[in-house]
């Protein structure tokens, strides 16, 4: 399974959307250089209030461009970085990946998928109805969270649009993604 990067985004401030840029630098063990969510311990304000010593399993946020396509077809105005993602991808079913999947991005960077992004009310603050639009049900009626995956940086490197993404699945048994 392989895909590609369609956009990269960063924000030095704790705000909902991130700015699309030409290149981001991933830093091993920390996240996206210059991003407000970069750090060894949790950097999301809500989680800091709960326990600031938690490990940061949300160093990099990835969303599939196919979600943007789906949301635009439903009338939403979304674009790379709009929902807070650092890396927008195409051609990989991010939500179907098992926990601990490694993604080699570009020439050197490697991230490990830690779990699902749990949609929150900030989506509705951005555009009314967006939270419900990124939630669905599978054939068994279980909740499906479609707002991307979170990852940690194992190997740093620069990431740009059009970089390839190579998927390396972990050894079985595979654990399904859960919110982190």
Domain positions in the chain:
2-168
Measured CA to CA, the distance from residue 139 to residue 158 in angstroms comes to 39
Mean pLDDT of 99-111: 98
Mean pLDDT of 109-114: 98
Question: Which band of pLDDT confidence, cut at 50, 70 and 90, is reported for residue 121?
Answer: confident
Task: Produce one character per residue of 99-110: b if its CB has 16 or more CB atoms within 10 Å, e if not.
Answer: bbbbbbbbeebb
Mean pLDDT of 5-9: 98
Name the percent of the chain lying above pLDDT 70.
100
Pairing state of beta strands 87-90 and 60-64? parallel
Task: Flag whether pLDDT at 36 surpasses 90.
Answer: yes
Measured CA to CA, the distance from residue 179 to residue 95 in angstroms comes to 11
Mean pLDDT of 122-133: 94
Can you name the CATH fold of 2-168? M1 Pyruvate Kinase; Domain 3 (2.40.33)
Mean pLDDT of 106-123: 94
pLDDT at 124 (0 to 100): 93
pLDDT at 44 (0 to 100): 80
Supply the pTM of this predicted model: 0.96
pLDDT of 74-96, one tens digit each?
A: 999 999 999 999 999 999 999 99
């Amino acid at each position: 399974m392989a895909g590609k990067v369609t956009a990269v985004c960063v924000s030095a401030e704790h705000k909902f959307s991130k700015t699309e840029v030409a290149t981001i630098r991933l830093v091993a063990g920390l996240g996206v250089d210059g991003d407000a969510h970069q750090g060894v311990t949790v950097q999301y304000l809500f989680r800091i209030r709960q326990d600031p010593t938690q490990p940061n399993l949300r160093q990099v946020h990835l969303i599939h461009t196919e979600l943007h396509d789906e949301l635009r077809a439903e009338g939403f105005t979304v674009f790379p970085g709009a929902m807070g993602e650092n890396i927008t991808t195409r051609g990989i079913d991010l939500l179907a990946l098992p926990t601990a999947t490694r993604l080699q991005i570009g020439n050197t960077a490697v991230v490990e998928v830690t779990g699902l992004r749990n949609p929150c009310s900030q989506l509705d603050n951005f555009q009314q109805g967006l939270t419900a639009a990124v939630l669905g049900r599978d054939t068994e009626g279980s909740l499906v969270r479609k707002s991307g995956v979170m990852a940690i940086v194992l190997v740093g490197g620069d990431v740009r649009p059009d970089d390839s993404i190579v998927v390396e699945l972990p050894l079985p048994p595979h654990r399904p993604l859960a919110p982190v």
